Chain A
Amino acid sequence: MALLLEFFQTLKNTVIDVLPILSIILAFQLLVIRRPIPHIKQVGFGFIYVLIGLALFLLGLEKALFPLGKMMAEQLTAPEFIHEGAAVLTTVHWSDYAWVYVFAAAIGFSTTIAEPSLIAVALKAEEVSGGAINATSLRISVAIGVSVGIALGSYRIVVGHPLHYYIIAGYVVVVIQTFYCPKLIVPLAYDSGGVTTSTVTVPLVAALGLGLASTIPGRSPLIDGFGLIAFASLCPIIAVMAYAQLTQAKAHQVERNVKKRQRIKMNKRTLRQKKQEAEQAPIKIYQQDKQDR
């Protein structure tokens, strides 16, 4: 019963969040386009499903995953866990935080796989590309990007390097890749950066960043705590373009192999023909000889 009550509370909040979008859509549809929405009944039910789904999703996250994930982030970054027994850290060595990096990478990967807006974009990309882009592979490459990004971001907080060096270096990589990767994937890759960080990833990642920045001496949550999300939206761009480049390279390889095989086949065929001709040649000469005579 209490659960049902909580569900309605979450549903109410979700509806309030969606209200601005809904009113904008309705206002423009009625006042500017002035045409009935096609398949209004189906679209209406779709909207209701989306709202119910989102409310259930958020409620479940709030009940199961967020408390546990946040607690883990706190425990893993706590001085007691890093230096057994010591309550306050005096010196910090980046390798002390090995478990934090593993956790950052694992949680980045797994939350991205469950991210609803990424699922939406991946489905659309598969549909638009006619199946040339596989939704699951796209999601996995984005997830790999996020996991590398968040692990790198945690490392940066531990060692205390300035954020913008990393981000600017990332931009340089993106620029170089843009000119070498298949044109078709570029807009999608740029999009995947912004898509990854929403409902599931942001709360957990923010907890990790603030936990790290507030326990390590000399770090301020103001400058170092934020910035993990920036990594999580930059690295997927690189990962998706790398995925496209790999697929392209593989396709080229396959093409080359096919051509090679064809060439070998051709060679074999011509060889066989020549052999046959050579075998028949004496007979021909004999027959010719006979005829001549």
Chain B
Amino acid sequence: MNQQLLVFFKALLGSCKDLLPIVLVIAFFQFAVLQQPMPNIADILVGLALVVLGLTFFIYGLEMGLFPIGESMAQAFARKGSINWLLTFAFCLGFGTTVAEPSLIAVAKEAAIVAATGGIINNTIDAQLSYANGLRYTVAFAVGFAIVIGVLRIIRGWPIHYLILGGYVVVVLMTIIAPNWIIGIAYDSGGVTTSTITVPLVTALGVGLASAIKGRNPMIDGFGLIAFASLTPMVFVMIYGMAIS
């Protein structure tokens, strides 16, 4: 029991260390640059304590739950030997986790408002909603597609850099023909898709697959799924922008 407590306190200390830079930055800018007193300090202290506690729990649960389940599923699929089921699972995982992603919903809504005021779409609630939803489903489909390609790469052992660099070429070509106003949103949508729970799960899946398949190196073949998931949304969102205008 004592030992567990010790481990917990060590983890807590680690989380404090992770959070220290933010506290220093905010304090420096508040006092030295903006020269203002800290507003409601009690609230902020409580909030910081919650963040530290939350980070500690998250990392604890990561090693206990998320990593093992990702790896055990990857191994089970590899043993089963059915590529079709594995790819279906990959697509569902990518699509399902992205379509409900809160930061994507927020960005899509923001993009709809900006597009409506910019006169790209009609300035009605309906038009905004359908634009935001269209954006969301486009990105979710793109992420599902990305995980499928990534898993296929692990199975076949394709070198990652040809695929990613090829993707970059497609992005550059699309940038030339896509309408100007979609480019910023398209480039950003690559970054916002990968949430805090998806990332560990997908990483564990990739590493698990690469270690279960003979001849694959978990370091070289296991990583890279997230790279695909942040590349394809750019292409798909630019296609969406072209389709709308």
Contact = CB atoms under 8 A, between A and B. Distances in A.
27 contacts: A16-B100, A20-B97, A21-B97, A45-B64, A45-B65, A53-B53, A64-B45, A64-B50, A76-B29, A107-B22, A110-B24, A120-B203, A123-B59, A128-B219, A175-B168, A187-B221, A187-B223, A190-B224, A193-B227, A196-B191, A197-B192, A203-B103, A221-B114, A222-B120, A222-B184, A229-B192, A230-B184
Interface of A: 3, 13, 16-21, 23-25, 28-29, 32-33, 35, 37-39, 42-65, 68-69, 72, 75-76, 81, 99, 103, 106-107, 109-111, 113-114, 116-117, 119-121, 123-125, 128-129, 163-164, 167-168, 171, 174-175, 178, 183-184, 186-188, 190-191, 193-200, 202-203, 206, 220-230, 232-233
B14 to A, nearest CB: 9
Given A69-B26, A99-B33, A171-B171, 17 more contacts: A17-B101, A33-B80, A50-B65, A51-B61, A54-B54, A60-B51, A168-B172, A171-B168, A187-B219, A190-B160, A195-B194, A195-B226, A197-B192, A221-B114, A224-B184, A227-B188, A228-B188
B56 to A, nearest CB: 7
Nearest to B111: A226
B65 A49 contact: yes
Interface string B39-80: 100011111111111111111111111111100110011001
A68 B26 contact: yes
Interface in B152-192: 160-161, 164-165, 168, 171-172, 175, 180-181, 183-185, 187-188, 190-192
B134 interface: no
Contacts, number: 344
Interface string B84-121: 01000100110011011111000100110011011010
Contacts of A38: 68, 72
A111 B223 contact: no
A64 B198 contact: no
Nearest to A42: B64
Contacts of B62: 46, 50, 120, 123
A37 B68 CA distance: 10
Interface in B12-37: 18-19, 21-22, 24-26, 28-30, 33-34
Nearest to B119: A222
B138 interface: no
A138 to B, nearest CB: 12
B83 interface: no
A19 B223 CA distance: 25
A62 B59 CA distance: 20
Given A163-B183, A198-B196, A230 B26 contact: no
Given A61-B51, A222-B118, A121 B61 contact: no
B93 to A, nearest CB: 6
